[in-house]
Structure 1
Amino acid sequence: MITCRRAEQDDAALFREVRLRALKDSPEAFGSTYENALERDIDSWREQIQSTVSSVNRNTQFAFDGELCVGIAALYREEGADTGDIIMMWVSPEARGSGAAPLLISNLMDWASAVGMSEVLLNVTDSNERAIQFYLNYGFVSTGDIVDCDASRCLKAIRMSKKVV
């Protein structure tokens, strides 16, 4: 059974491990690279986890299949903003289709509603058809904007949004 939980203060090592797995598995899905993430020291991972745990503007969720972490997603908003951005989303290949992705997004959307957001936005690389279809099925719509995700790798992303209910 897939479960999800919000990141906790002691999750720096877990965050690093899952983020590195995500970047290695799906490099085209992210604006950052495995090589750059690998260079970060553990203190930078701790700082990022601490910033999400201690902030009312950030929520990072982990998905688990038993004890194994099989996914991650994060929703951040700027101070005072009524919209937020899903800045990362990944489910391990062996857990795709298991319900982990909808559960991660559902948890983030529930949190967005609880903290008063009116809209959630995201960028999804234009070559990631499976992710685009997932977001469309979940009720996200294209804003019509195409953005540079990583110009050095010629990655373009489709901007999508969903109203928070």
Structure 2
Amino acid sequence: MIIRQLNPTDAEDYLSIRLEALKDSPYAFASSYEEERNQSVEKYKSSFNTQSNAITFGAYEDSQLVGVVTLVKEQLLKLSHRANIVAMYIKPEKRGYGIGKALVSHVIEQANNINSIEQIYLTVVTTNVSAKKLYASCGFEVFGEEKRALKFNNTYYDEEHMVLYL
């Protein structure tokens, strides 16, 4: 397995796995498949090409993108010591093989290399037990719970807010 930062040539693969994630786990993301299905590959080519506050990493096995995660650095001066993990997804058939742990560990390592980042935040749906275990095993701690954070198909989902102090 290879983990690396995605670049414009990965945009098509990223869009494909992103749409799969939104279909496979609609309760786990604030965005929906319906909202993103018409996104263009150009959007991701552009975002992977610029030096932005977001860095997306991909896990590759046999040249296939099997997992992704994005680290978003806060831009406001008073929040510039913080970053957020978003858009984490591992293909269902690849779960349980350590890919998620490798991706999160890689993001933590990269965040440690950015001098201003002191803490990393994420949110996880409370029913996603395997993701919660993964994040806890990487050192994240729950600091709050948001009731009815997401609503999908008339069902509410609570989210836990987690933080890792570097």
TM, length-normalised to structure 2: 0.88
Work out the number of aligned pairs and report it: 160
SS in 2 for 1:158: strand
Note if contact 2:27-2:150 (Cα within 8 Å) is conserved in structure 1. Answer: no
- Aligned counterparts, 1:11-90, within 5 A: 11-51=10-50, 54-55=51-52, 57-79=53-75, 80=77, 81-90=80-89
CA shift, 1:44, in A, is 2.5
1:92 alignment partner in structure 2: 91
SS in 1 for 2:121: strand
Gaps of 5+ in 2: none
Larger deviation, residues 78-87 vs 145-154: 145-154
Larger deviation, residues 148-157 vs 109-118: 148-157
Note if contact 2:90-2:99 (Cα within 8 Å) is conserved in structure 1. Answer: yes
CA shift, 1:28, in A, is 1.2
Note if contact 2:8-2:46 (Cα within 8 Å) is conserved in structure 1. Answer: no
SS in 1 for 2:9: coil
2:112 alignment partner in structure 1: 113
TM, length-normalised to structure 1: 0.88
Percent of residue pairs identical? 27
Which contiguous aligned blocks of 4+ residues in structure 1 show a shift greater than 6 angstroms? none
Q: What are the superposed Cα offsets for residues 16-52 of structure 1, whole Å, 9 maximum, x if unpaired?
A: 011011111111111111121102233323333334x
Amino acid at match of 1:91: I
Gaps of 5+ in 1: none
SS in 1 for 2:127: coil
